Amino acid sequence: MKILSWVLRLFAFFWVLILSGGTFLQYYDFKNQSTFLTIKAVAVKTSWYLPAFYFHIIASSVILLVGFVQFSPYIYNKRNLHKILGKVYVLGVLLFAAPGAYGMTLFINRGPWVFISFMVQNTLWVLFTILAWQAIINKKIDRHVFMMRRSYALAFAAVTLRLYIFILTKFGNGAHFANNYIIIAYLSWIPNLILVELLNRYTKYQPPTVKAET
């Protein structure tokens, strides 16, 4: 079981690095010449889409990395570092990534069901992040951990969405991508939450520990 857990962690971290690194390499110059922004030409002409876009992708890239390492026993036991990274995560979600996602969703152009999916996902992301923050302020550690798991599951939807897009694009056997987008819009975050709910329900939280150095 431990081996499987480590394999899954490494697999997840690999895709987090791919997404975060790829985002930086593609958009670091702010030239707005990517294929995605070309498709969103109408949205780009507005005065606020690009700020929302860059807020979201840059903050989300940082959040994915920060959130992932926060579950590490090593980081958890570095209390000051854990608190600093926690603030980076929470403020990154609430001030940049989530507001940017709301702005981008207004121009999703994939139909009402996809629009609803992203709006619900983003709203739950904000809610769980606020509740996690509130819980740690009130020193409710178990509740804080459970809420942070939920929050990160929704942040990780950025990874699973692109993984599904990659799979359908490469192995879709000619299926119409637009018809599949409704499925992957919900598939990107609902299974994540289900897995976290099972984890929260059937595992008793224990603060991670690391062996003392000798």
Q: Burial of 5 by CB count in 10 Å (0-12 exposed, 13-18 middle, 19+ buried)? A: exposed
Give the tens place of pLDDT for each residue, 91-117: 999 999 999 999 999 998 888 999 999
16 located within any domain: yes
pLDDT at 63: 95
For residues 168 and 180, the answer to whether their CB atoms sit within 8 Å is: yes
108, 109, 114, 118: CA torsion to nearest 10: 10
Indicate if the pLDDT at residue 214 is higher than 50.
no
Number of domains forming the structure of the chain: 1
In a domain, 131, yes or no: yes
pLDDT in tens, 144-185: 999 999 999 999 999 999 888 888 877 765 456 667 888 899
For residue 196, tell me if it sits in a domain. yes
**pLDDT over 80 at 22, yes or no:** no
Spatial separation of the C-alpha atoms in residues 171 and 74, rounded to whole Å: 39
Tell me the CB-side half-sphere exposure of residue 69, using CA atoms within 13 A: 17
Query: 210 in a domain, yes or no?
Result: no
Cβ count near 17 (within 10 Å): 13
Whether 208 maps to a domain, the answer reads no
**Buried/exposed code over 117-151 (b: 16+ C-beta within 10 A; e: otherwise):** bbeebbebbbebbebbbebbeeeeeebbbbbbbbb
The pLDDT assigned to 109 comes to 84
Q: Is residue 207 part of a domain?
A: no
> Best-predicted range by mean pLDDT among 1-5, 71-75, 184-188?
184-188
In a domain, 168, yes or no: yes
Considering the domain boundaries, does residue 209 fall inside one?
no
Residue numbers of the domain that contains 59: 2-202
Closest C-alpha among 21, 4, 7, 5 to residue 162? 21
